[in-house]
Amino acid sequence: MRVGRLWGIDLHFNLLFLFLLGLYFVAGVLEKGLIIFSLVLFHELAHTLAARLMGVRVIDVEILPFGGMARMGGEMSVEPGKEIAVALAGPASNLLLMGLAMGLKNYGIWSEELGPFFLQTNLMLAFFNLLPALPLDGGRILRSLLSVHVGLSEATLMAARMGQVIAVGVACLGIVGALHRFVGLDVVIIALFVLYAATKEKNLAPYLFIRHLAQKKEELSRAGVLPAEQLAAREDVPLKEIVRLFVPQKFHLILLLDRQMETLGQISEVQVVDALFTYGMDYPLGAILKPKGE
C-alpha cells in the first residue's frame, strides 16, 4: 500500500505490517507497536541514504515487519561492495540508536516502561537482519560475497535457500515458544513472511541474472579496468553453461576447444552476451567464431 514519497522515492507499507500494528492496538500496547514501526522505518531509510550516497538508484521502499525491502538500480548486481555497504547500513543504524538511547539514559532521559523495549527492539532488528538469509540484510551480504566466486545466479539461489531453512527453523522455535509463552505468535508470523519472501527471491533469481548479463557490457566501460578471468570450454557447450560462471567485477575471456581439445580461438564475454540475447541460451559457443551462413 503506497503511503507517500520521501526524497523522491515511493514509500509502501506491507499489509502484514499494518495487521501486526492492529494486533498491538488490540493488545493495548500500541506504543510498542509504534516504536517498532519507527525503528523499522529508520532502518530502511538508513539503507536508502547509504544507497544514494553511493550513487545507487532507489526505485521504491516497502516497509515489512522485520525491516524493509528497497528496489534498487542494477548497479548493485555488478558491484558487490556497494550491496554489502548498503546492507550493513540498516543494522548499523539500529546499533547507533541503541548507543544514543544508552547515552540519554545516563542523563536521566529515560522511560522505565518503554526504554528497555526500545533497546531490545533495536538489538533484535540489527541481529535478526544480519542472519545470512535472503531477503534479510545478512543474506544480501552473503550473496555479494558468494557472487564473486560462483556467479550472481547461484549465489542468489544459495542465499535464498538459506533464507527458507532459517525461516522454517525460526517458525518452529516460535511455535514451541508460543506454546510455552516465551514469545508471541508474531515471531511465527514474521518467520512465515520471511519464508514467503525468500521463496520469491529464489524464483526471481533467473530474472536478476538476465538483468545482470544485460549490464555486463557496461561494467568494463564503467570501471575502466577490470581483472580478466580465463575460462576454457568446448565449442559445443551452450551459452547458458558458460554465462552462469560469469562473476561480477571481472572480464571473462573464453578459450574455445574442439572435441580433440585443440584450440580454436578465443572469445570475450561481450561476444557471449551479445550472442545470448540474439540467438538464445542454447546457442553453441563455437558458432560465435564461425562466419554467419556456415
- 114 and 3, same domain (yes or no): yes
Strand residue runs (E) in 1-50: 2-6, 9-13
- Is 175 domain-assigned? yes
The H or E element spanning position 169 is: helix 152-179
CA angle 43, 87, 15 (to 5 degrees): 50
How does the average pLDDT of the chain come out, rounded?
84
pLDDT beyond 90 at 122: yes
pLDDT beyond 70 at 252: yes
Q: How far apart are CA 156 and CA 143, in angstroms?
A: 6
Higher pLDDT, 79 or 179: 179
- HSE (side-chain half, CA atoms, 13 Å) at 142: 21
Residue 74: pLDDT band (50, 70, 90) is low
- 27 and 47, same domain (yes or no): yes
- HSE (side-chain half, CA atoms, 13 Å) at 113: 4
CATH at residue 246: 3.10.580.10
- 208 and 245, same domain (yes or no): no
Higher pLDDT, 239 or 292: 239
Q: Is 134 exposed, middle or buried (0-12, 13-18, 19+ CB in 10 A)?
A: buried
Identify the pLDDT of residue 78.
61
State what percent of residues in the chain have pLDDT above 90: 26
N-term to C-term CA, the chain: 55
Residue 229 is among the residues annotated as catalytic for this protein: no
Write the CA distances from 66 to 4, 26, 98, 210, integer angstroms. Answer: 20, 20, 17, 29
Q: How far apart are CA 104 and CA 36, in angstroms?
A: 19
State what percent of residues in the chain have pLDDT above 70: 92
Eight-class DSSP state of 293: T
pLDDT beyond 80 at 46: yes
Query: Of 176, 195, 218, which marks where a domain is finished?
Result: 218
Query: Of 218, 250, 265, which marks where a domain is finished?
Result: 218
- 206 and 230, same domain (yes or no): no
Over residues 203-220, mean pLDDT: 77
- Is 141 domain-assigned? no
- 14 and 85, same domain (yes or no): yes
pLDDT beyond 80 at 68: no
- 237 and 214, same domain (yes or no): no
pLDDT beyond 60 at 4: yes
pLDDT beyond 90 at 1: no
How many CB atoms lie under 10 A from the CB of residue 280?
11
Pairing of strands 58-64, 67-72: antiparallel
Of 165-169, 224-228, 268-272, the poorest mean pLDDT is in 224-228
- Is 142 domain-assigned? no
| Residue ranges making up the domain that contains 190 | 151-218
**In the block, which residue shows the cell 493495548?**
28
Q: Which of 82, 79, 40, 75 is nearest to 61 (CA)?
A: 40
Over residues 168-179, mean pLDDT: 88
Residue 230: pLDDT band (50, 70, 90) is very high
- 21 and 99, same domain (yes or no): yes
Q: How far apart are CA 184 and CA 241, in angstroms?
A: 47
pLDDT beyond 60 at 100: yes
Higher pLDDT, 230 or 151: 230
Q: How far apart are CA 263 and CA 64, in angstroms?
A: 53
- Is 137 domain-assigned? no
User: What does R_g of the chain's alpha carbons equal in angstroms?
Assistant: 23
Of 56-65, 118-127, 198-207, the poorest mean pLDDT is in 56-65
Of 2-11, 32-41, 174-183, the poorest mean pLDDT is in 2-11
Identify the pLDDT of residue 292.
55
Residue 288 contacts by C-beta under 8 Å, 6 or more apart in sequence? 267, 271, 272, 275
Identify the pLDDT of residue 151.
82
Please count the structural domains in the chain: 3
- Is 138 domain-assigned? no
- 182 and 68, same domain (yes or no): no
pLDDT beyond 70 at 291: no
- 184 and 246, same domain (yes or no): no
- 119 and 9, same domain (yes or no): yes
Over residues 188-209, mean pLDDT: 84
Q: Is 148 exposed, middle or buried (0-12, 13-18, 19+ CB in 10 A)?
A: middle
- Is 265 domain-assigned? yes
- 239 and 212, same domain (yes or no): no
* Set 44, 154, 201, 269: catalytic member: 44
**In the block, which residue shows the cell 542454447?**
282
- 204 and 232, same domain (yes or no): no
Residue 95: pLDDT band (50, 70, 90) is very high
- Is 146 domain-assigned? no
- Is 161 domain-assigned? yes
